[in-house]
Amino acid sequence: MAATAHPLTLTALDPATLDRMRACYLGVDDARVSPFLREHPELAIALVDAAPRLRAAFGEGVTLRLERSYFDNEELLFARVYGHASSVDEAEQRMDGFREGWWYQQPPEAARFLEFSVGWDA
């Protein structure tokens, strides 16, 4: 029996997928983000699937932004939620709910290079 590809399997970013990501997130075309997405196309489906779940957790008016950053000496892609008007404790609770309710059940391939977090505009 042939192995079935997991729904997060994507070997290249096609224009339709990029458009779907642009509809969900700011920063898709950023000079530091775009090459990372092309190197790790498996992240695209997870990001698109996550966007409505993040909005459900934080509210429809939030801004979702992709940013590259270092964490524990590894460069990762961060999907950050801005404009949520939550306290630190409330934002952490909402993000924990998102992670426990959906993200932690996703395959580890995407989690290796992707992290979801909350940001505060300066």
Query: DSSP letter string over 28-66?
Result: TT-TTHHHHHHH-THHHHHHHHHHHHHHHHH-TT-EEEE
Among the listed residues 58, 75, 57, the one whose alpha carbon sits nearest the alpha carbon of residue 67: 75
In a domain, 8, yes or no: no
- Rounded distance between C-alpha atoms, residue 17 and residue 10, angstroms: 10
In a domain, 35, yes or no: yes
- Rounded distance between C-alpha atoms, residue 23 and residue 16, angstroms: 11
pLDDT in tens, 71-99: 777 889 999 999 998 899 999 999 999 99
Residue bearing tokens 């458009």: 19
In a domain, 81, yes or no: yes
How much is the pTM?
0.86
For the cut 80, the answer to whether the pLDDT of residue 59 exceeds it is: yes
User: pLDDT category, 68, cuts 50, 70, 90?
Assistant: very high
In a domain, 1, yes or no: no
User: pLDDT category, 108, cuts 50, 70, 90?
Assistant: confident
Q: In terms of residue numbers, what domain contains 48?
A: 30-118
For the cut 70, the answer to whether the pLDDT of residue 119 exceeds it is: yes
In a domain, 21, yes or no: no
CATH number at residue 109: 3.30.300
What is the number of structural domains in the chain? 1
Residue 43 in contact with residue 114, Cβ under 8 Å? yes
Provide the pLDDT for residue 85. 87
Do the strands 63-71 and 74-82 form a parallel or antiparallel pair, or are they unpaired?
antiparallel
Contacts 24+ apart (CB under 8 A), 70-75: 71/115, 75/36
pLDDT in tens, 4-54: 344 444 568 889 999 999 999 999 999 999 999 999 998 999 999 999 999
